[in-house]
């Protein structure tokens, strides 16, 4: 029996396929199926204009633009005649190729369905291109051209995703040049494919698709407008009544839901089995900008998606053009997982796992959690008699990602390793945490800091350039803004960059001394006083060198090969004073105590006052300095037998700070703090900061 024109939506089908995918065969199946129901169909392919009178395919590059224009005109005339279903049977591998067909369809209020044919193996496409007596119209496309077509298919495949942001500045549409007989770039950015519904044909599902695709398109066309009978349908009225009662209070409850807070939903992915009410409730609660419904052939055939669409429009929750479905094999978790994962890795995506089968729920939840999308669930009591939730018991639950607990454990493990300055272990833990955490910004910068401090603690300063480069790139990211505001973290990182982002950062004596004392402080916190004392002692040696260089006429003094005449005009007087203070002549190599003796002799008013609050004669000052330093010289790391304890370390460390203050007139503590590793634990203990 013919279908009345009033019961279906005018529709355009746009194929997207590499030649040999079966698009023309399926187009003919669609035409045959729909015409048997009294629906008018026309198919328009540019390839038809290259057929000879004997139906042989004869491609002519010079006629390509002309034949495309003829096909578009024929397509437009079919729409002008109000043909029910108009099919564009071109390859349409790039969005701009389909655009003129979609634009004309939109202007005349036709809904648009794109059928995307996933390519087979190349050899199979080549095989169906061969001309035979039975296939005189085969295109015989060379392998090289098919390879290029495959590249174009994959290059522009993402533009099927309507949620893809506008393309970058280096990606522009092309147009045909009759002069060059080639595609040439334009200055127009590429737009996404325009469609209302997307159907996908997998290579291994082709024979099934010959039946399924026509049936699906028939359901979409005849199901767009409701007949008077469908309006009176008991199920429609029952669901409408339930939602009228439920939605006002449910929306109010969701607005008061502190768990939901101010979270935005750009895309809602919802599972649909046989009960559309949960998808309606999720849409009402989250107010998404777009909706994708994962469903099955059976649910489509029984009208569940149509009922969902009716309800969403009935209650003005979302425009029909902003919702679509993907019908999948609900017994195939890999297919469901892949479909959800393809969309879930964007920002502000919610996955409603309430409806559908257990297989659908498990696969969708896994995809959501692994791609850091927010999964949710409509919880309610159920009325078995009415086969509907009990009105007023509905709750929207945001489900915590189970992997987040694991992520938190790894992050805490990294923090613990960081506190013990095991930077390698900390970096490994943060790397694992980064893979599991919904917001990995902390873990990203933490890994880079681990690498930086690992090199610094080993004084491998030539390698500092690499982590500093990564730190600079990371702190420039918008996603880092929140964490950089905590505890002056941005300032701490900028201090490191300012001090160490140089070809030889330790060429600056102040940085070198502060690095020694900063690391000495870190080792002392760990109870490793031998290392701490060694580093503080190295700071004193550097300070003595700085003091002697300041007194030298040439601004340069080498304690290993000392030129005493550069320190004074009266060498004999210097030698006598040194002998009087130290009991020996000027040495051929100047040790630390000898170096400080020279400083006292040459600038007594400055260097005699190293021990604040104590007035001492030069000999006593030198003796006390020698005593402090001898504890390090007798320590195990200096090949002695006495362990260096906390008290001896503090004495060496305080002496270094005092000498620095004498030389520079400044306190070195602020510079040490700039180098000290940040307290990473405090950055993650303030989630609301």
Domain with residue 269: its CATH number is 3.40.50.10770
Residues 447 and 570 in one domain: no
Query: Within a domain: residue 223?
Result: no
Residue 220 lies in a domain: no
Instruction: Answer yes or no: is 173 within a domain.
Output: yes
Residues 433 and 375 in one domain: no
74 and 124 in a single domain? The answer is yes
**Which ranges constitute the DSSP H helices of 458-591?**
465-475, 481-484, 489-500, 509-525, 529-551, 571-582
CATH number of the domain to which 110 belongs: 3.40.50.300
**What local confidence, expressed as pLDDT, does residue 236 receive?**
78
Question: Domains in the chain: how many in total?
Answer: 4
Q: If we measure between CA atoms, which residue out of 157, 160, 156 comes closest to residue 173?
A: 156
Residues 483 and 532 in one domain: no
CA neighbor of 677 nearest in space, from 496, 460, 485, 480: 496
- Cα–Cα dist 409/402, whole Å: 12
Same domain membership, residue 330 and residue 236? yes
Q: Is residue 467 part of a domain?
A: yes
Is 19 found in the same domain as 164? yes
The answer to whether residue 41 sits within a structural domain is: yes
Q: Which domain holds residue 10?
A: 5-215
Which pLDDT score is estimated for 6?
47
pTM for this predicted structure: 0.49
Predicted local distance difference test score (pLDDT) of residue 241: 86
Domain final residue, candidates 399, 417, 447: 399
Query: b/e for 532-563, b at 16 or more Cβ within 10 A?
Result: bbbbbbbbbbbbbbbbbeebbeeeebebeebe
**Residue 684 lies inside a defined structural domain of this protein:** no
Of 438, 473, 507, which one is at a domain's C-terminal end?
Answer: 507
Residues 411 and 469 in one domain: yes
- Which candidate, 81, 76, 70, places its Cα nearest to that of 101? 76
Residues (pLDDT < 50) of the chain are 1-6, 136-137, 166-169, 224-232, 686-689
Give the model's pLDDT for residue 336. 93
The answer to whether the CB of 374 falls within 8 A of the CB of 284 is no
Residues 239 and 652: their CA atoms lie apart, in Å, by: 82
Beta bridge partners of 176: 183
Beta bridge partners, 198, equal: 114
Whether residue 431 is found in the same domain as residue 329: no
Alpha-carbon distance 37 to 486, whole Å?
Answer: 67
Q: Are residues 395 and 413 in the same domain?
A: no
Q: Is 76 in the same domain as 35?
A: yes
Say which CATH number the domain at 495 has.
1.25.40
The answer to whether the CB of 468 falls within 8 A of the CB of 500 is: yes
Residue 630: φ, ψ to 5°: -65, -25
Secondary structure (3-state) at 347: coil
Q: Is residue 482 assigned to a domain? A: yes
What span, in angstroms and rounded, lies between the C-alpha atoms of 249 and 102?
A: 41
Three-state DSSP at 608 gives coil
Residue 224 within a domain: no
Q: How far is CA 579 from CA 371, 594, 607, 619, in A?
A: 76, 11, 18, 11
Same domain, 613 and 470: no
Please give the backbone phi and psi of residue 349, each rounded to the nearest 5 degrees, phi first.
Answer: -105, 130
Q: Residue 1's pLDDT is what? A: 37
Main-chain dihedrals φ then ψ at residue 397, nearest 5 degrees: -110, 130
Residues 162 and 270 in one domain: no
CA distance 565 to 573: 11
Residue after which a domain boundary falls, among 507, 522, 553: 507
DSSP letter (8 states) at residue 168: P
């Amino acid at each position: 029996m013919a279908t009345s024109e009033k019961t279906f939506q005018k529709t355009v089908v746009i194929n997207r396929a590499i030649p040999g995918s079966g698009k023309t065969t399926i187009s003919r199946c669609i035409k045959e199926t729909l015409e048997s129901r009294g629906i008018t169909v026309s198919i328009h392919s540019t390839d038809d204009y290259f057929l000879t009178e004997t139906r042989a395919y004869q491609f002519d590059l010079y006629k390509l633009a002309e034949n495309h224009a003829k096909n578009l005109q024929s397509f437009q005339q079919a729409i002008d005649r109000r043909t029910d279903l108009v099919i564009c049977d071109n390859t349409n591998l790039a969005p701009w190729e389909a655009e003129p067909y979609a634009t004309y369809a939109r202007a005349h209020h036709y809904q648009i369905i794109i059928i995307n044919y996933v390519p087979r193996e190349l050899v199979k496409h080549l095989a169906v291109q061969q001309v035979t007596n039975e296939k005189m119209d085969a295109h015989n496309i060379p392998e090289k051209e098919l390879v290029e077509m495959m590249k174009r298919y994959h290059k522009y495949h993402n533009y099927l995703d309507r949620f893809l942001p506008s393309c970058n500045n280096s990606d522009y549409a092309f147009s045909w040049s009759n002069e060059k007989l080639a595609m040439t770039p334009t200055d127009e950015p590429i737009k996404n494919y325009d469609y209302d519904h997307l159907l996908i044909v997998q290579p291994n599902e082709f024979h099934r698709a010959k039946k399924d695709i026509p049936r699906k398109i028939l359901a979409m066309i005849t199901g767009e407008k409701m007949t008077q009978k469908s309006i009176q349908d008991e199920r429609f009225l029952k669901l409408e009544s339930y939602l009228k009662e439920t939605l006002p209070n449910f929306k109010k409850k969701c607005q008061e839901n502190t768990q939901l807070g101010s979270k935005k939903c750009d895309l809602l992915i919802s599972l649909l089995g046989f009960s559309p009410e949960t998808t309606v409730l999720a849409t009402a609660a989250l107010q998404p900008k777009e909706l994708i419904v994962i469903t099955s052939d059976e649910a489509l055939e029984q009208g569940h998606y149509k009922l969902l669409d009716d309800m969403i429009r009935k209650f003005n929750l979302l425009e029909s053009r902003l919702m679509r479905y993907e019908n999948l094999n609900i017994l195939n978790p890999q297919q469901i997982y892949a479909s959800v994962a393809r969309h879930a890795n964007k920002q502000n995506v919610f996955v409603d796992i309430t409806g559908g089968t257990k297989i659908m729920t498990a696969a969708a939840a896994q995809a959501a959690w692994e791609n850091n999308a927010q999964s949710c669930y409509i919880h309610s009591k159920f009325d078995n008699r009415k086969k509907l939730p009990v009105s007023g018991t509905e709750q929207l639950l945001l489900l915590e990602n189970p992997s987040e607990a694991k992520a938190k454990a790894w992050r805490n493990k990294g923090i613990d390793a960081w506190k013990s300055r095991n930077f390698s272990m900390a970096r490994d833990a943060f790397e694992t945490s980064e893979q599991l955490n919904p917001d990995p910004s902390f873990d990203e910068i933490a890994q880079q800091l681990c690498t930086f401090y690992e090199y610094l603690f080993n004084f491998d300063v030539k390698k500092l350039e690499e982590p500093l480069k990564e730190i600079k790139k990371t702190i420039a990211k918008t996603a880092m803004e929140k964490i950089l505001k905590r505890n002056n973290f941005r300032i701490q990182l900028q201090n490191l960059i300012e001090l160490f982002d140089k070809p030889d950062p330790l060429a600056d004596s102040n940085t070198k001394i502060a690095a020694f004392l900063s690391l000495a402080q870190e080792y002392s916190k760990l109870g490793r006083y031998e290392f701490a004392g060694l580093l503080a002692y190295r700071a004193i040696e550097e300070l003595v060198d700085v003091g002697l260089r300041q007194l030298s006429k040439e601004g340069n003094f080498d304690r290993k090969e000392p030129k005493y005449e550069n320190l004074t005009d009266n060498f004999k007087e210097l030698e006598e004073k040194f002998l009087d203070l130290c009991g020996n002549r000027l040495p051929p190599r100047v040790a630390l105590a000898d170096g400080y003796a020279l400083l006292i002799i040459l600038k007594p008013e400055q260097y005699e006052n190293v021990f604040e609050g104590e007035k001492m004669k030069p000999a006593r000052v030198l003796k006390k300095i020698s005593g402090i330093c001898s504890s390090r010289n007798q320590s195990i790391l200096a090949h002695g037998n006495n362990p260096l304890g906390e008290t001896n370390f503090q004495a060496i460390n305080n002496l270094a700070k005092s000498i620095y203050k004498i030389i520079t007139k400044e306190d070195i503590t602020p510079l040490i703090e700039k180098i000290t590793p940040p307290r990473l634990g405090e950055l993650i203990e303030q989630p609301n900061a």
